[in-house]
A and B are shown apart, each in its own frame.
Chain A
Amino acid sequence: MPCVVSDPTDRRRRPSGWHRLIGETRESLSMALDSVVSHKLRSGLTLLGIMIGVFSIIVVMTVLRVLDTNAQESLSELGPHTFRVKRTPPFFFSSSKERRKVRAREPITWRQCREVIRRAKLPISIGVEEGFTNGTVRSEFAETNPDISLRGVTPEVFPARVWDLEDGRPIQDADVDSSRLVCVLSNGLAKKLFPHSEAVGDRITFDGLAYRVIGVLEKKGQMGGDEDSFVAVPISTGLQRYSNPWVSLGIVVQAAGEELYEETVEEVRGIMRVLRRTPLGEADDFEIVSNDSLMEQFREVTFAVRAGVSVISSVALLAAGIGIMNIMLISVTERTKEIGVRRAIGARKRMILTQFIVEAVILCLLGGIVGVVLGVSTGNILSFFFKTPVVLPFDWVAYGLGICTLVGVVFGAYPAFKAANIDPIDALRYE
């Protein structure tokens, strides 16, 4: 048992407070490690408990993070500092009365879009878009299911939605001005329609009309589904064929930068209110949607579940903490004599306290590290199923280890306190 007796020949040199603290900590550490090693079985079981507790938290947090990333990816359809103005919100969860009110909103017309483009000064670009209809797309080689959406767009939509081209050119102002029968295909759709040849330059038919393919978009993200099965045509071409009094267009606005974002939103909101003659004091009769607002809504909806799961997952660590406390108490009782000897030859209460708390913390941290590794890897097996990139919740790893230390300190405190307050005489006499 290593214990420090200061060398009598060295009595003149009084160590400074700082040195003493370092010395005490080092000594506590070596003693704690010794005792952990000497009771392998006991320490091992305690470690196992903590490990499972941490594993439970980390695996749940990793899974939540994976789901979150997944949702974020599928909801992020817009570029940076970009927002959309729409007639109706994308999700809806409120009462039927509200719903009726939203349904009664006037459509956003082409005239309103033109006015917004003319009046707004802050945005760097304003695009107009609308998903007109779904249907079957045919090429001379293949035919799709009738669930491909036909979207009318203006050239500005391309940068706003971060549509990069793999081949060909985007839709340009000239296409819109003269309502040309041209189209840009999403990547997956182009691969399906033209499996062995280049799509650009060829023709497709949609709803009885032939369009010339002028471009193919790059593959976007992991999300196959909706984002990868559409045909983009000039908005004027779409309006010519599918316009009716209820068609409501969407406006995509790109702000000049992060710092101008709020101002841009307010400018566009003001213009829209004027154009739609919304009375002062009334709520907007349109929606402004951004990636952030979508994510926020998603988080709000899932908040209760995530909070509940977080609480449930930390219960195991609580049970493990109680296990630590129990083992530390036993350890204190067993080592009463040792404590008595240390006290008798001059160890302070504080040193005993440090010794036992350090021991508890070491147990917790060792278990915690293993638990974090296991938890992160198990959680990421799920990300494999969701085909999302691997997630390393660094913040939760840090929290996890922090919580471990805290558990060690909290549940080690009582046994350590008990040890520190043993009367040296009683302790030496203890059998």
Chain B
Amino acid sequence: MRILHELGEGLRIALEAVRAHKLRSALATLGIVIGVFTVTLMATAIEGLNNAFTNSISAIGSDVLYIQRFSWGPTDEWWKIRARQPITMAQGKRLEERATMAEAVSMESRANETVKFEDRTASGVNVSGVLASSAQVHGVDLSDGRYLNEAEVDGARPVCILGATLSESLFPRGDGVGEWVAIGNARYQVIGVSARVGNFAFGDLDNQVTVPLTRLAGDFVSNPEVTLTVKVGTDAPMEEVQEELRWIMRAIRKVPLGEDDDFSINNQQSLLDTFGKFSAIAGSAGLFITGLSLFVGGIGIMNVMFVSVTERTQEIGVRKALGAKYRAILTQFLAEAATICVFGGLLALALAWGATQVTKQWLPATISPTIATLALSISATVGIIAGFLPAHRAARMKPVDALRSE
């Protein structure tokens, strides 16, 4: 109870002191505001960049493995992997038969063709050849019609699913399902239209047309190089599934023991890791530079607090003579510093919120509760640290000396 009372009294005196020196307090607050504002904005910007990147690769899927000829990461010794052989459909087939731990295995291949319907043309469209099991691997969201089924893939039927943008440009009224379109020189019947996916770092998924892989191999690319896509599922941990796939692939591709893999197993995490390294370096540099201004703001507070202590030496003497303990005086000055800082922190948050409303158009970032809490606790900490030395000096004074001081 004593502590609470002391705290209350300290706060009251602090508020009075702040009010009594309006200009001085305002300037000290301004210093803190600048510091907290820049740090908050920097943290928000970093978070925004990370979000933007994660969003743009989210279509990859977090529990999907991609077995491909080359790795997504940077490679130093390209001449070592240059000679790797493409992964064929036959190899994919064998992997599908032998893999036991994964939830679903599928393969995909791509081509680039012009799609036509009557007098409307879309050029440079991604033609994606898939299996029926791709639906399980990636999950499918259709706005109209249905997905490919196994019979259509096995029988290489000329059916296709249009991406949202492509469907809009070929069928503005959205009545594409059932029509026949020309992809390159071949004719396909539209059986479905997929829902909009949005931005993706590696190509526009909305401007693509999905056909049976078997059909793609017949019409556009003979012997296509395929990407094997594997949904890990919940039955086994990703590392184990990956290890199983690796050894099956090595067996299928007849890699001798002791040799390096002649294929790569990629997943979203490796991309995130690569990006994370860059963003961590850039972020820490940015936070260091902006942190300096917060530090400077803190020094300003400390300075003002020292002045305040010197000016009020007599007052401190009186209080101590009347029986105030070390703790009471300490609380009083700490409260003054913390008040200035927390107020500054709140003001800075409000300003930073306004600023993010403006930058929201370019960066998908708003101040998260984490950042807000962090900013406030940092400014309170700065206040306490900056206030401690002056407060300690005041609280330690001998009442006699304090009263005698001029």
Q: Which A residues are within 8 Å of any B CB, using their own CB?
A: 41-42, 45-46, 48-49, 52-53, 55-56, 60, 134, 145-147, 309, 312-313, 315-316, 318-320, 322-323, 325-327, 329-330
Contacts and interface: CB of A to CB of B under 8 A. Distances in A.
Interface centre among B28, B31, B78, B306 (most CB of A within 10 A): B31
A45 B79 contact: no
A312 B306 CA distance: 29
B376 interface: no
A327 B303 contact: yes
Contacts of B42: 312
A330 B292 contact: no
B321 interface: no
B296 interface: yes
Given A52-B295, A316-B292, A322-B34, 9 more contacts: A45-B302, A49-B299, A52-B299, A312-B42, A312-B286, A312-B289, A319-B297, A323-B296, A330-B24
A70 to B, nearest CB: 16
B79 A145 contact: yes
A320 B303 CA distance: 11
A252 B300 CA distance: 59
B303 A45 contact: yes
A42 B303 contact: yes
A322 B295 contact: no
A52 B31 CA distance: 14
Interface centre among B35, B77, B295 (most CB of A within 10 A): B295
Interface string B295-317: 11101101110110000000000
Nearest to A60: B289
B227 interface: no
Interface centre among A46, A53, A146, A330 (most CB of B within 10 A): A330
Nearest to B307: A330
B303 A325 contact: no
A56 B293 contact: yes
A49 B297 CA distance: 8
B58 to A, nearest CB: 24
B300 A49 contact: yes
B24 A316 contact: no
A319 B307 contact: no
Nearest to A96: B124
A93 B304 CA distance: 52
Nearest to A324: B300
Interface string B154-196: 0000000000000000000000000000000000000000000
A319 B27 contact: no
27 contacts: A41-B306, A45-B299, A45-B303, A48-B299, A52-B295, A53-B292, A53-B293, A56-B289, A60-B289, A312-B42, A312-B289, A316-B293, A318-B293, A319-B31, A319-B34, A319-B296, A320-B299, A322-B30, A322-B31, A323-B31, A323-B296, A326-B28, A326-B31, A326-B304, A327-B303, A329-B27, A330-B304
A56 B38 CA distance: 14
A49 B35 CA distance: 12
Contacts of B257: none
Interface residues of B, number: 28
Given A45-B299, A145-B79, A322-B30, A52 B292 contact: yes
A323 B24 CA distance: 10
A228 B30 CA distance: 54
B290 interface: yes
Interface of B: 23-24, 27-28, 30-31, 34-35, 38, 42, 77-79, 286, 289-290, 292-293, 295-297, 299-300, 302-304, 306-307
Contacts of B297: 319, 323
A192 to B, nearest CB: 16
B403 to A, nearest CB: 18
Interface centre among A134, A146, A313, A326 (most CB of B within 10 A): A326
Contact of A323 (B290, B292, B300): B300
Contacts of B31: 319, 322-323, 326
B306 A45 contact: yes
Contacts of B27: 322-323, 325-326, 329
A80 B27 CA distance: 54
B300 A326 contact: yes
Contacts of B34: 315, 318-319, 322
B79 A319 contact: no
A49 B296 contact: yes
A49 B303 CA distance: 10
Contact of A46 (B28, B38, B289, B303): B303
Contacts of A329: 23-24, 27
B283 to A, nearest CB: 13
A145 B78 CA distance: 10
A326 B300 CA distance: 8
8 closest cross-chain pairs (CB), A and B = A323-B300, A316-B293, A326-B27, A319-B296, A146-B79, A45-B303, A316-B292, A56-B292
A316 B304 CA distance: 18
A315 B304 contact: no
Contacts of A313: 289
A319 B300 contact: yes
Nearest to B28: A326
Nearest to B302: A45
Contacts of A45: 299, 302-303, 306
Interface centre among B296, B297, B307 (most CB of A within 10 A): B296
Contacts of A323: 27, 31, 296-297, 299-300, 303
A137 to B, nearest CB: 13
Contact of B38 (A146, A309, A312): A312
A318 B290 CA distance: 12
A322 B26 CA distance: 10
B303 A145 contact: no
A330 B21 CA distance: 10
A315 B24 contact: no
Nearest to B290: A312
Given A41-B306, A318-B34, A330-B307, A53 B24 contact: no
A52 B292 CA distance: 7
A271 to B, nearest CB: 37
Contacts of A316: 289, 292-293, 295-296
A378 to B, nearest CB: 11
A209 to B, nearest CB: 19
Contacts of B307: 42, 327, 330
B312 to A, nearest CB: 13
A42 B24 CA distance: 15
B143 to A, nearest CB: 28
A300 to B, nearest CB: 20
A320 B299 CA distance: 9
Contacts of B300: 49, 319-320, 322-323, 326
